[in-house]
Amino acid sequence: MALASDFYWHYCGRHKGKFGHEFLEFKFQPDGKLRYANNSNYKNNVMIRKEAYIHKSVMEELTRIIDDSEITKEDDALWPSPDRVGQQELEIVIGDEHISYTTTKIGSLIDVSQSKDPKGLQVFYYLVQDLKCLVFSLNGLHFNIKQSKLYVFKAVFISN
C-alpha cells in the first residue's frame, strides 16, 4: 500500500473510573504531524498534550503495519459494544479507503477470545498494541532523550 497524501490515523481509548474520565488519544495527520493526548486524574495529574512531526519513512512504516495487519478486511459488527467499562475507537483513512471501528475497552486476550468474532477482534487488539508501542517509542525518542544521551547512543553504534 503506497503512502497516500490523504493518510490519516486516529485512535482513542477512554473510560470512566475512580479517577474520573480518562482517555488516551493519538492522531497521525497527512502532513506528518503526530498528536498525542493523555488525560488521567491519577494523583491529580493534568492532561498531557504533545505534538511532533515525523519523517515520511515513519509514515510509510505506519502504513505498512496497518496494511500487513489486514484490519481493513474486518468488521466490528460482532465486536462488543462500548459500555461502562470504556470504549476504543480506531479510524483510518488511506487514499479512498475510510474505515472506522468502535468496541469496548479490551482488558486482555481473554476478552478477545470470549467475543463473537475473536479472530477479527484479535487483529484489532494486536494492531492497536503495535501502534501504541510505536507512538510511545516516538514520544520517548522525541521528548525524553537529552542531547548528551543522543551522542552516547550514536557513539556506541559508530564504534561497533
DSSP code per residue over 32-48: SEEEEEEE--GGGPPPE
Closest of 49, 64, 53, 66 to residue 123, by C-alpha: 66
Helical ranges in 19-146 per DSSP H = 56-69, 109-113, 118-139
Q: Grid coordinates representing 124?
A: 484489532
Residue (of 135, 94, 101) closest to 121 by Cα position: 101
35 contact partners, CB below 8 Å, separation of at least 6: 25, 26, 27, 29, 49, 50, 51
Q: How much is the pTM?
A: 0.81
Return the C-alpha cell found at 24: 488516551
| 50, 38 Cβ separation under 8 angstroms | no
Query: Pseudo-torsion of CA 65, 69, 72, 76, nearest 10°?
Result: -120
Counted residue by residue, the chain has a size of 160
Residue 1: its pLDDT value, please?
Answer: 43
Each residue's pLDDT expressed in tens, for the chain with a length of 160 residues: 445 567 899 999 998 877 777 899 999 999 999 999 988 877 777 788 889 898 889 999 998 999 999 999 999 999 999 998 899 999 999 888 899 999 999 989 999 999 999 999 999 999 999 999 999 888 887 776 554 444 444 434 443 3
**pLDDT at position 150, please?**
47
| Cα three-residue angle 20-88-24, rounded to 5 degrees | 55
Angle made by CA atoms 35, 91, 41, in degrees to the nearest 5? 50
